[in-house]
Amino acid sequence: SIVTKGLRQPKRMARVENKALNMLADLKDNEPEAAESLMKRLTPDVRQKIITHASEHLYNEELNRVAWDQVCDGLTFSEKEICKLILQGHTLKEICAKLNKSESNITSQRCHIRKKLNMDRRDDLRRTLEVRFYDAQKQVKKSEAE
């Protein structure tokens, strides 16, 4: 759907940006001279864009973490892991393989998640999580602005 596509697109871009920022951070940690040399070769404008982008990225990650905590309030660590994998579009079999758990275990935990989130068993868990996460993001950003 349009809402789902809109929710996923920024995540893909964020992964690429996150990877680039992590590579730069790793370079700074492992080869500080090389990182410094690279930064010196950049124009002041480009350096400032990198710093601004990194700051925005960290800020957005923190907002997303707060929103995610609101959505998953009351869930166990394992249930939160399952929710993340569901949001990423993984199938039941893929979730089982990633977490090394049986289908019955994951199915049972999905039922617990639905109960804790006051959902009907017929509700689409992925769609509900997407909508709640999106709403929580808006709420967190709104409260940040106030």
Summarised one tens digit per residue, pLDDT across range 16-50 is 667 777 777 777 788 888 878 877 887 888 878 88
Q: Tokens at residue 46, please? A: 């480009």
SS3 of 78, please?
Answer: helix
Please provide residue 44's backbone torsions phi and psi, each rounded to the nearest 5 degrees: -55, -35
pTM for the whole thing? Answer: 0.67
The helix-helix angle for 103-116 and 77-87 (nearest 10°) equals 100
Identify the residue with better confidence: 144 or 87. 87
Which residues, including other chains, have CB under 8 Å from residue 95's CB and lie 6 or more apart?
82, 85, 86, 101, 106
The pLDDT value given to residue 21 = 72
Report which secondary-structure segment, H or E, holds 71. Answer: helix 44-71
C-alpha span between 34 and 40 (Å, rounded): 10
In this structure, what token pair is assigned to residue 25? 């951070």
Dihedral, CA of residue 132, residue 135, residue 139 and residue 142, to nearest 10: 160
